[in-house]
Amino acid sequence: MKKIKISELPLYQSLKGLFVMGTDVNNRSVKVNLEFIESETTKAVKDADTATAAAAKAAGLADEATKTANAAALRADTAQAQAAKAAKAASDAAQSALSAKTQADDAAKAAQDAAEAAQAAKTAADEATTLTKAATEASEKATAAAKSATDKVLDTLGKIVPTGLFVESVPRLTLGNVNPVYLKAVLSPDTALKNLIYISDNRAVEVGLDGRISILNKGVSRVHIIPTCNTALARTVLIEVGEPTLRLVTTRRQMRFTQSGALRMN
C-alpha cells in the first residue's frame, strides 16, 4: 500500500457523507454524522430568519394602523370645524335655523363617523401591537433554539475532539530484537475519538497502524504521532537502532550474566 502525506490528500468542501469514528462514554464504537450537525445548525438559522420576517411584517401593519388613526383624527377636526360654523350660522340667522340645524346634524353625524373611524383605527393599532408582541416572542424562541443547537454542537465537539496527547516511546532498540515493542499514545479526554496516524521515515524502523515498532536497519528514525481530529497535538519522537552490545557491571571491567548464565545484552 502506497503511503501519502496528509498534505497530499484532496480537499473536500462539504460535510455530506462524512463521519467521524470514535467511542462513546460507554466505550462503544460509534460514528458521528457531520452532515447532521450542519443540518441542525442550518435549520436553527432558517427559523430565526422566518421569525425576523414576521416581526418586520407586524411592524408594517402597525405603521398602517398609525396612518389610519391620523387620518381619522384629521376628519374629526374637520367635522368639529363644520359644527362650529353651523352653530354660528344658526345664532346669526334665525331664518336659517332649519338649515343650520340640518347642517349641525350633518356635522354631528360626520363627527360620529370620525369617532367610529378613530375607534376602528385604535382597534387596528391594538391588533398590530399584539402581532408585534407575538412576532417578538417567536423571534426570541427561534434565537433560543439556534443557541441551543449551537450549544449541542459545541458540547458534542468538546467531547469527541482530543485536547491532549501523551506519548511514551523507547529511545533505543537493538538489531535482532524480536520482542514486540509499541509506541504508547494516549489521548485525552477519555471521550475523545481514538484516531491516530503513525508516520515513520522507515530509515531504521517502521510503525504499524496499532503503534507496533518493527526494526528495519541500523540508524535513527523520526516517527510522527498525529491525532486525526486535532493535528495541532501531533508529536515527533526519535528511535535509534544499534548493534547489540555486552552489558557490563558498574566498574565497566566485567560482563553481566543472567541467572541461567547467558550474557546480558544492551
Specify the higher pLDDT residue, 202 or 259: 202
pLDDT (0 to 100) of residue 263: 46
Q: How would residue 249 be classed by pLDDT, with cut points 50, 70 and 90?
A: low
- Residue 241 or residue 82, greater confidence: 241
Count of positions (residues) in the chain: 266
Average pLDDT on 110-118 reads 91
* The pLDDT of residue 96 is above 80: no
Alpha-carbon dihedral angle through residues 134, 136, 141, 147, given to the nearest 10 degrees: 170
